Amino acid sequence: MNGSLVIQQPGNSVVTDLGRFRGPRFGLPVNGALDQFSARAANILAGNADNSPLLEITALDFRMRATTDILIAVTGTPLHLTVGGRECQQWEPVSVRAGETVALRRLDGGLRAYVAVHGSVHAPVLLGSCAPDTVVGFGLRLTEGTELRTFKSVPPIRQPYFDLPLFRLGLTRPEFHSTAVVDVTDGPDVDEFGGTADLLYSTEYTVSGRSNHIGLRLGGALPERQSTAEVLSRGVPVGAIEVPSREELLVLHRGRGVTAGYPVLAVVTSRSLDVLAQARPGHKITFRKTTVPEATAKHRAALRELETLRSTVGTVFSLLGVGGPPGPPRLAPAAGS
């Protein structure tokens, strides 16, 4: 049954997905959820496909009201979650009754939270993605009174079912600290920095307040380019670390301009881009060198955890009759056993 989510306090929130992967070919950044693991986990916990449109809420308090009974999941930064005034858990499916308010307050461990709704929400699409693009002025930024269409209603689920310890079956929730270690591989232009490249690994950097979805700016000792030859514009990957000024290191994130003319010193791994997505101004970052095969292995290990979660959630949902007609109980190991 169609319903809607009425935004009461938007804070800083958008509807997004995993990104516009065909965008770079046309000069558009990939954009999409900055913390990809948390976004995927939220959709999986809500019984959706990983790439379904969901809400990304950055830094500020957020409130919305549901017009029908729905099922949601909230992941990302630690925060205080209430539904109809009741305190609820993050990283678990949560029932919301028609008329109840969902409030996310005190987003303070990291920076970004994700709210997925079972059946997802309606959002306009550009090149196969609903991810906002601030440069072309595309996307759904939420304001007070915005009504987001929802597609599936789920009757309230009795809480005892969700006292099952779903997450002991595999999902390691990300940790949120004010100091973070970020894995990087050597960039294609590392040689241009000579011996100063090693400063990247011996320096503790501080996240600047001028950081955003395009890139994080980090203060600290800076590697210096040794050559002054002109660099032709070229495609730069998400995660590229550049030294464009004498003040700060620039780490490009998913909103980055697709081409640039600065040498790429190092590239943050896919897995550690999620860590940077949650870094707040003032947080400390240190970089650790890894290799592409190791980075790929870590990324795949995280995807396997999400697959385990998906199968657990699928089992529980089918027992509860969520996401389709209720079938006979399946012979699957009981959660937690």
Partner 1 sequence: MPAVSTPALPPVEVFESGDAALRVVASSADREANWATVHALAEWLDAAGADGVHGAVPTYDSLLVEFDPGVTSARQVRAFVLLGLRQLEFTGAPARAPREFSVPVVYGGEYGPDLERVAEQQQLSVEEIITLHTAKSYVIRCLGAPAGSPMMDGPDFPLPVPRLKDPRLSVPAGAVSVAGRQAVIAPAAAPGGWCVIGQTPLTVLDAAAEPLVPYVPGDVLRFHRIPPEDFATYAGRKLEAAR
If the CB atoms of residues 61 and 186 are measured against partner 1, the closer one turns out to be 186
Residue 213: CB atoms within 10 Å = 23
Q: How far is the CB of 233 from partner 1 (least distance, A)?
A: 5
264 binds partner 1 (CB under 8 A): yes
Q: At what angle do helices 36-45 and 270-277 cross, to 10 degrees?
A: 90
If the CB atoms of residues 30 and 74 are measured against partner 1, the closer one turns out to be 30
If the CB atoms of residues 172 and 259 are measured against partner 1, the closer one turns out to be 259
Out of 11, 78, 170, 188, which residue is the one contacting partner 1 (CB under 8 A)?
A: 188
If the CB atoms of residues 168 and 304 are measured against partner 1, the closer one turns out to be 304
Out of 1, 49, 60, 136, which residue is the one contacting partner 1 (CB under 8 A)?
A: 136
Instruction: Give bridge partners of residue 260 from the DSSP assignment.
Output: 234
CA diameter of the chain? 69
Out of 164, 303, 320, 332, which residue is the one contacting partner 1 (CB under 8 A)?
A: 303
CA proximity to 256, closest of 52, 55, 27: 27
Out of 25, 97, 106, 210, which residue is the one contacting partner 1 (CB under 8 A)?
A: 25
Q: How far is the CB of 301 from partner 1 (least distance, A)?
A: 10
230 binds partner 1 (CB under 8 A): yes
Q: How far is the CB of 194 from partner 1 (least distance, A)?
A: 18
CA proximity to 271, closest of 243, 247, 305: 305
* Nearest-angstrom CA–CA distance, 32 and 19: 4
33 binds partner 1 (CB under 8 A): no
38 binds partner 1 (CB under 8 A): no
227 binds partner 1 (CB under 8 A): no
H helices of the chain, in order, are: 36-45, 199-202, 270-277, 292-320
If the CB atoms of residues 216 and 316 are measured against partner 1, the closer one turns out to be 216
If the CB atoms of residues 58 and 185 are measured against partner 1, the closer one turns out to be 185
CB 40 within 8 A of CB 306: yes
* Nearest-angstrom CA–CA distance, 314 and 301: 20
213 binds partner 1 (CB under 8 A): no
For 30-42, b/e burial (b = at least 16 CB within 10 A) is bbbbbbbbbbbbb
* Distance, C-alpha 245 to centroid of its chain: 28
Out of 61, 186, 224, 305, which residue is the one contacting partner 1 (CB under 8 A)?
A: 186
DSSP state of 101: E
Q: How far is the CB of 272 from partner 1 (least distance, A)?
A: 10
Residue 183: CB atoms within 10 Å = 21
102 binds partner 1 (CB under 8 A): no
21 binds partner 1 (CB under 8 A): yes
Residues 6 or more apart in contact with residue 288 via CB below 8 angstroms: 181, 182, 183, 184, 201
If the CB atoms of residues 59 and 214 are measured against partner 1, the closer one turns out to be 214
238 binds partner 1 (CB under 8 A): yes
187 binds partner 1 (CB under 8 A): yes
The residue range among 4-12, 134-142, 308-316, 318-326 that interacts with partner 1, by the rule CB under 8 A, is: 134-142
* Nearest-angstrom CA–CA distance, 41 and 307: 10
* Nearest-angstrom CA–CA distance, 271 and 290: 12
φ and ψ of 186, to 5 deg: -55, 135
Q: How far is the CB of 79 from partner 1 (least distance, A)?
A: 28
Residues 6 or more apart in contact with residue 326 via CB below 8 angstroms: 318, 320
Please give the residue ranges that form the binding site for partner 1 (CB under 8 A).
21-22, 24-30, 126-127, 133, 135-138, 185-188, 230, 232-240, 257-260, 264, 267-270, 292-293, 295-296, 299-300, 303
